[in-house]
């Protein structure tokens, strides 16, 4: 596709959040006046437009990967993304030691990559990269500090094994300028972003359609759709950001929408509590995110927040420095809360209080993966800090907490899913567990595996959640599995889709979930993270088990509830079908290189090929680039076997009597059960111990300070002021000022009184004065003339 | 003064002058209102005589007619209508301080005027002896010529003023 | 016949008249004193007229006499009104402009 064509969307991706934001505003402002049909229609139209655009974007990106820009075009694109062009002469890189506050005239771009960039301005700037003059050159100046290391880059094009360097499409404008730092606002489109666009818009579209029936005649229908649009806009904005500051903005916005949507039925206190818990727990993690952004900003030179610049620094000058480790771990703090990692995962199950489509969109497919996306985007930082790929979890100045947390999270999520009665809670813990997989994958170096798992998980988890919604819709809005059962004969479509999605979750090779999970495990083993691998393997078994339990309790056996279940309307079941089909189709997107061939067969590893960021790691210096994860056959067969085995065991447990009542009879089992039911007492820890412990003494201390210190000061000030006032009044005002004023008045009046005596009213006195003065005048006249 | 040419005039003048001055003084010092009016008559008559000495007979006659004949009568009417105390009355003068002030002012005035007159016209003579009355210019025909030609407008204005004063006096003094 | 003799006489009359204006309490007496003043002035005028052999002096004196007559008429009307309102023609009592 010709870059200058008007349909070339790669540099117009800002339209995605813009359209959704527009939809949000329209629904918010005028939605109430129209029927539900129109309101949902606006949202659905906007999202479908974005979805179609995302398909176009995907196609154009694939085209770009197949025909990557070279030469001047590539240099221009690199400059636009904030990295020194790899074709520049060595001198050009060195020259870039200038501060970013240099004269930002457009010509200065030519100082940089001498003849190359100069030629760029003229011809292809229009098409591929359109910049405003300032943003262009100052951005190009800024990373020159890191770019001076890119002299090694003159080695040129061929970096990683069989992937070519494909420059993403960036576009940015100067937002504002302060203290020598330029803050830009911009978009970034590479494979990862394109994939996220597709995922987010697809799931959002299906949820929009699904919600039409699910929230029919809801008390705040308009609100809901408005927030759905806002959420989609925020998520798209987040995904398309090219600098960490913008990512922070999007991050916070999605957190806000999550809060609003969880608490959609805020009339019930439980929902409000859940929404607050979600928001506040996220806030705790956001502290880490903020600190992390700041640390990485300053570590990378304190000039720009640009993602590529920071990654470049992390893999170059900052490799292995303690500062970078601090930055990475702080960033991971944000991920911990947003993506439900081990200590801060407690909000996710409670967030199930929101409507089910919301859970599907936000807490399964999209928002919770924002943390995973963050790690993926800033992978240079994590890679450089935590020695990912080396097999060591603990080093001199680092701890690969990313992998450890991921592992722990999978275990925690998996174990807790067993003891839930609420189907949505099972799915919530399952989500936590799968998120743990993704984070774990990123922590051990299986970047593509984790991202592919993100992709497939979005499909099948959304399908599961929407299926749960369909089930509850039929069972009179109960989510308790104890009141379900035997629904497979009443709701065949729902059952089938649910089953397929569960197979994906459990890791049956037919469905895509198996392949993505397998890639992660493979990465763990190949990079020698055996402990992490063990955690993942145990969890895989647990996943299969609790999934079987869930499906069995819901759909098999006899119906235990009181409602009259029936199949849900088409508007609900069609998205389920679509998602289940996609979960199946996704399998073929990333089929591994079974035969370990030297050059990839055309059908293999397509996802990786298009999505893997070959550009986030500019070819610089010593550190290894992203490790290749080969397909390990024994691992694949092994995990499949484990899944089947544990599923069968659970089946036996559910249908038979052999292991029934174990937890009642055996005390350690009972203790374990209690521990699980109380969610590892984490909630109690957070709410009662930490918060309560702070709340009480802090409140008391504050009260004491107020009473004993602040109040006396205030009162004292008041009393003192009063005394001063009184003094001033008596002595100064009355004594001095009044005296002056009165004296002057008195003087006037006395003078007047004195002069008054001349006005006797007697004519003869006036006459005497008259004559007398005439005489005097004449005398004077005579004397003068004399 | 008292030269042979003008001996008679000078004697006449002196006598009349003394009478006038004494009468004037009595006008302002007497405690009898009616006496004051009569002394005033003396003064006015003396003035008329001086006019004759100055060869202005018309003015002298007019003086007698108007002043003594009308104005003094008016004064007497005024005295009557205001029920002034006839005979000696102590109520005619101001208190002493005021009188002193008046005296001082009058004396000073006299002194100044006298000095000025002495300074300027010490030896000037009215050369009346060597001229005819007509040449002295104050005869009746000459006066009337002057009034009705050169000073016609003031004459008319004076008439109107008299009319106004007449009406004014009536309006002011009527009983209602 | 010196000019001065008439002028001195007029000056003395004038001074006496001024004294009378200032020293007399009775309204009518004040008016009389004013007449003295006016006559002094007339004498002055006529003396100068004769000295200058010009009828102007006499003419002016005639006008003064006319005005004096009018003035006395009005003045006495005022005095009578004053008497009617206050039963006394003490000038010192007319001090409404006092203060």
pLDDT for B72: 94
Residue A639 has pLDDT above 90, yes or no: no
pLDDT for A661: 61
Question: pLDDT, tens digit, for every residue of A232-282?
Answer: 999 999 999 988 999 999 999 999 999 999 999 999 999 999 999 999 999
pLDDT for B2: 73
- Chain A residues with beta carbon closer than 8 angstroms to that of C94: 761-763
Q: Which of A176, A110, A147, A152 is nearest to A301 (CA)?
A: A147
Co-location of A376 and A331 in the same domain: yes
pTM: 0.61
Number of structural domains found in chain A: 4
Question: pLDDT, tens digit, for every residue of C38-75?
Answer: 999 999 999 999 988 889 999 999 999 999 999 999 99
Asked if the Cβ–Cβ distance from A768 to B94 is below 8 Å, we say no
Does residue C53 sit within a domain? yes
What separation in angstroms does the CA of A14 have from each of A8, A19, A61, A365? 13, 9, 16, 22
Co-location of A292 and A358 in the same domain: yes
pLDDT for A23: 93
Q: Could you tell me which residue, A764 or C10, shows the higher pLDDT?
A: C10
Helix (H) or strand (E) holding A649: helix A633-655
Tokens of A545: 């088990």
The percentage of chain A sitting over the pLDDT mark of 70, rounded to a whole number, equals: 82
Does residue A16 sit within a domain? no
Question: pLDDT, tens digit, for every residue of A647-684?
Answer: 777 777 777 665 566 556 666 767 777 777 777 777 77
Q: Which of B161, B168, B68, B142 is nearest to C63 (CA)?
A: B161
Does residue C64 sit within a domain? yes
Q: State the CB neighbour count (10 A cutoff) for residue C56.
A: 17
Question: pLDDT, tens digit, for every residue of A195-211?
Answer: 899 999 999 999 999 99
Question: pLDDT, tens digit, for every residue of B76-98?
Answer: 999 998 887 777 877 778 888 88
Asked if the Cβ–Cβ distance from A764 to B98 is below 8 Å, we say yes
Q: What is the mean pLDDT of residues A10-34?
A: 89
Average model confidence (pLDDT) across chain A: 79
> ipTM surpassing 0.95, yes or no?
no
Asked if the Cβ–Cβ distance from A778 to B116 is below 8 Å, we say yes
Of A140-154, A281-295, A493-507, A696-710, least confident by mean pLDDT is A140-154
Q: What is the mean pLDDT of residues A604-611?
A: 67
**Is residue C43 within 8 angstroms of chain B, CB to CB?**
yes
Co-location of A665 and A692 in the same domain: no
Residue A700 has pLDDT above 80, yes or no: yes
Residues 73-102 of B with CB under 8 A from A: 94, 98, 101-102
Q: What is the mean pLDDT of residues C69-93?
A: 88
Co-location of A412 and A364 in the same domain: no
Question: pLDDT, tens digit, for every residue of B60-71?
Answer: 999 999 999 999
Asked if the Cβ–Cβ distance from A767 to C22 is below 8 Å, we say yes
Residue B44 has pLDDT above 90, yes or no: yes
- Structural domain that includes position A716: 682-772
Taking phi over 0 as left and psi of -120 to 50 as alpha, with beta for the rest, A359 belongs to alpha
Does residue C33 sit within a domain? yes
Q: Could you tell me which residue, B30 or A662, shows the higher pLDDT?
A: B30
Residue B171 has pLDDT above 80, yes or no: yes
Does residue C77 sit within a domain? yes
Co-location of A673 and A686 in the same domain: no
Question: pLDDT, tens digit, for every residue of A401-459?
Answer: 899 999 999 999 998 988 888 999 999 999 999 999 999 998 888 888 888 899 999 99
Co-location of A537 and A633 in the same domain: yes
**Distance of alpha carbon A630 from alpha carbon A646, whole angstroms:** 26
Domain CATH code at residue C14: 1.10.287.3510
Does residue A57 sit within a domain? no
Co-location of A566 and A423 in the same domain: yes
What is the chain C residue with the closest CA to A765? C22
Co-location of A663 and A690 in the same domain: no
Does residue C10 sit within a domain? yes
Co-location of A374 and A439 in the same domain: no
Co-location of A475 and A578 in the same domain: yes
- Structural domain that includes position C83: 3-90
**Distance of alpha carbon A378 from alpha carbon A552, whole angstroms:** 41
- Quick check: A224 and A261 in contact, CB under 8 A? yes
Tell me the shortest Cα–Cα distance from C94 to chain A, in angstroms: 7
Asked if the Cβ–Cβ distance from B101 to A778 is below 8 Å, we say no
Tokens of B89: 């009355």
Q: What is the mean pLDDT of residues A530-542?
A: 89
Average model confidence (pLDDT) across chain B: 89
Residue A109 has pLDDT above 70, yes or no: no
What is the chain B residue with the closest CA to A769? B105
Number of structural domains found in chain C: 1
- DSSP label of A149: G
Does residue C99 sit within a domain? no
Q: What is the mean pLDDT of residues C9-32?
A: 93
Residue A142 has pLDDT above 60, yes or no: no
**Distance of alpha carbon A272 from alpha carbon A354, whole angstroms:** 10
- Quick check: A305 and A244 in contact, CB under 8 A? yes
Asked if the Cβ–Cβ distance from C21 to A764 is below 8 Å, we say yes
Tell me the shortest Cα–Cα distance from A755 to chain C, in angstroms: 9
Does residue A782 sit within a domain? no
Does residue A273 sit within a domain? yes
Co-location of A289 and A365 in the same domain: yes
Q: Could you tell me which residue, A190 or B155, shows the higher pLDDT?
A: B155
What is the chain A residue with the closest CA to B94? A764
Asked if the Cβ–Cβ distance from B109 to A779 is below 8 Å, we say no
**Distance of alpha carbon A8 from alpha carbon A2, whole angstroms:** 7
Co-location of A487 and A564 in the same domain: yes
Does residue C13 sit within a domain? yes
Q: Which of B58, B77, B75 is nearest to B136 (CA)?
A: B58
Does residue C27 sit within a domain? yes
pLDDT for B37: 93
**Is residue C94 within 8 angstroms of chain B, CB to CB?**
no
Question: pLDDT, tens digit, for every residue of A160-194?
Answer: 334 455 777 888 888 888 888 878 888 988 888 88
Residue A157 has pLDDT above 60, yes or no: no
Q: Band the pLDDT of B120: cuts 50, 70, 90.
A: confident
């Amino acid at each position: 596709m010709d870059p200058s064509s008007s349909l070339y969307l790669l540099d117009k991706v800002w339209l995605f959040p813009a359209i959704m934001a527009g939809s949000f505003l329209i629904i918010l402002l005028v939605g109430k006046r129209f029927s539900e049909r129109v309101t949902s229609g606006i949202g659905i139209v906007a999202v479908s437009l974005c979805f179609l655009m995302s398909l176009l974007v995907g196609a154009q990106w694939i085209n770009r990967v197949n025909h990557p820009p070279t030469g001047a075009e590539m240099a221009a694109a690199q400059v636009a993304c904030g990295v020194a062009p790899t074709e520049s002469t060595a001198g050009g890189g060195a020259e870039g030691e200038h501060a970013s506050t240099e004269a930002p005239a457009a010509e200065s771009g030519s100082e940089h990559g001498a003849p190359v960039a100069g030629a760029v301005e003229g011809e292809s700037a229009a098409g591929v990269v359109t910049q405003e003059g300032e943003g262009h050159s100052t951005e190009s100046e800024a990373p020159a500090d890191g770019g001076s290391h890119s002299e090694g880059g003159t080695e040129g094009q061929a970096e990683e094994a069989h992937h070519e360097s494909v420059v993403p499409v960036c576009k940015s404008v100067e937002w504002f300028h302060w203290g020598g730092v330029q803050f830009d606002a911009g978009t970034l489109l590479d494979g990862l972003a394109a994939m996220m666009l597709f995922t987010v818009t697809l799931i959002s579209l299906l949820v929009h359609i699904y919600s039409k029936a699910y929230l029919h005649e809801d008390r705040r229908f308009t609100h809901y759709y408005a927030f759905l649009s806002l959420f989609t806009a925020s998520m798209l904005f987040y995904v398309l950001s090219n600098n960490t500051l913008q990512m922070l903005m999007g991050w916070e916005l999605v957190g806000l929408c999550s809060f609003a949507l969880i608490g959609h039925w805020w009339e019930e206190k439980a929902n409000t509590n859940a929404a607050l818990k979600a928001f506040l727990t996220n806030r705790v993690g956001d502290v880490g995110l903020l600190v992390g952004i700041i640390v990485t900003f300053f570590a990378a030179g304190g000039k720009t927040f640009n993602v590529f610049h920071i990654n470049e620094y992390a893999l170059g000058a900052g490799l292995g420095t303690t500062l970078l480790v601090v930055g990475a771990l702080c960033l991971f703090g944000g991920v911990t809360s947003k993506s439900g990692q081990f200590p801060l995962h407690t909000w996710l199950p409670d967030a199930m209080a929101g409507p089910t489509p919301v859970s599907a969109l936000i807490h399964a497919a999209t928002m919770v993966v924002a943390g995973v996306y963050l790690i993926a985007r800033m992978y240079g930082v994590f890679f450089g800090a935590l020695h990912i790929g080396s097999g060591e979890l603990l080093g001199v100045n680092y701890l690969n907490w990313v992998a450890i947390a991921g592992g722990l999270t999978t275990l925690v999520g998996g174990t807790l899913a067993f003891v839930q009665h609420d189907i949505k809670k099972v799915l919530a813990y399952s989500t936590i567990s799968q998120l743990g997989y993704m984070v774990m994958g990123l922590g051990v170096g299986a970047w593509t595996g984790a991202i592919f798992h993100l992709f497939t998980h979005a499909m099948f988890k959304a399908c599961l959640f929407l299926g749960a919604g369909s089930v509850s819709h039929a069972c009179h809005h109960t989510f308790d599995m104890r009141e379900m059962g035997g629904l497979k004969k009443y709701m065949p479509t729902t059952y089938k889709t649910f089953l397929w999605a569960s197979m994906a979750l459990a890791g049956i090779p037919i469905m895509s979930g198996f392949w993505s999970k397998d890639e992660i495990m493979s990465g763990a083993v190949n990079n020698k993270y055996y402990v992490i691998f063990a955690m993942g393997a145990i969890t895989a078994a647990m996943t299969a088990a609790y999934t079987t339990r869930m499906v069995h309790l819901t759909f098999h056996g006899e119906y235990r509830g009181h409602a009259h279940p029936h199949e849900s309307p088409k508007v609900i079941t069609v998205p389920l079908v679509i998602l289940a089909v996609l979960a199946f189709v996704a399998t073929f997107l990333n089929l591994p290189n079974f035969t370990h061939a030297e050059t990839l067969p055309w059908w293999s590893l397509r996802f990786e090929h298009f999505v893997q960021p070959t550009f986030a790691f500019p070819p610089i210096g010593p550190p290894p680039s992203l490790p290749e994860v080969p397909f390990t056959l024994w691992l694949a067969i092994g995990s499949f076997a484990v899944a089947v085995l544990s599923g069968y065991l659970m089946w036996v447990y559910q249908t038979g009597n052999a292991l029934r009542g174990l937890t009642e009879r055996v005390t350690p089992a009972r203790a374990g059960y209690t521990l699980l039911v109380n969610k590892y007492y984490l909630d109690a820890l957070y709410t009662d111990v930490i918060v309560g412990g702070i709340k009480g003494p802090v409140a008391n201390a504050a009260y004491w300070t107020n009473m004993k210190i602040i109040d006396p000061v205030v009162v004292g000030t008041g009393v003192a002021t009063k005394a001063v006032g009184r003094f001033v009044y008596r002595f100064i005002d009355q004594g001095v000022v009044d005296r002056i004023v009165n004296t002057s008045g008195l003087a006037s009046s006395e003078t007047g009184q004195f002069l008054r005596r001349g006005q006797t009213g007697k004519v003869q006195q006036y006459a005497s004065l008259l004559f007398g003065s005439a005489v005097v005048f004449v005398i004077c006249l005579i004397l003068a003339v004399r | 003064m008292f030269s042979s040419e003008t001996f008679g005039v000078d004697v006449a003048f002196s006598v009349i002058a003394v009478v006038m001055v004494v009468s004037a003084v009595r006008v302002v010092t007497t405690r009898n209102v009616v006496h004051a009016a009569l002394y005033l008559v003396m003064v006015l008559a003396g003035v008329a005589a001086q006019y004759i000495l100055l060869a202005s007979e018309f003015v002298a006659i007019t003086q007698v007619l108007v002043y003594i004949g009308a104005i003094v009568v008016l004064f007497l009417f005024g005295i009557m209508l205001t029920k002034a105390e006839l005979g000696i009355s102590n109520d005619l003068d101001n208190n002493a301080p005021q009188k002193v002030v008046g005296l001082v002012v009058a004396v000073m005035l006299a002194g100044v005027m006298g000095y000025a007159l002495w300074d300027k016209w010490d030896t000037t003579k009215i050369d009346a002896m060597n001229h005819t009355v007509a040449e002295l210019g104050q005869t009746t025909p000459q006066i009337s010529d002057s009034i009705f030609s050169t000073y016609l407008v003031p004459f008319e204005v004076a008439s109107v003023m008299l009319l106004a004063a007449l009406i004014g006096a009536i309006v002011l003094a009527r009983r209602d | 016949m010196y000019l001065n003799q008439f002028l001195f006489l007029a000056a003395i009359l004038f001074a006496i008249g001024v004294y009378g204006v200032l020293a007399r309490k009775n309204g009518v007496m004040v008016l009389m004193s004013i007449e003295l003043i006016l006559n002094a002035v007339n004498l002055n005028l006529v003396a100068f007229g004769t000295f200058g052999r010009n009828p102007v002096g006499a003419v002016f004196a005639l006008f003064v006499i006319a005005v004096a007559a009018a003035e006395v008429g009005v003045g006495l009307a005022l005095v009578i009104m004053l008497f009617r309102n206050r039963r006394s023609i003490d000038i010192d009592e007319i001090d409404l402009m006092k203060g």
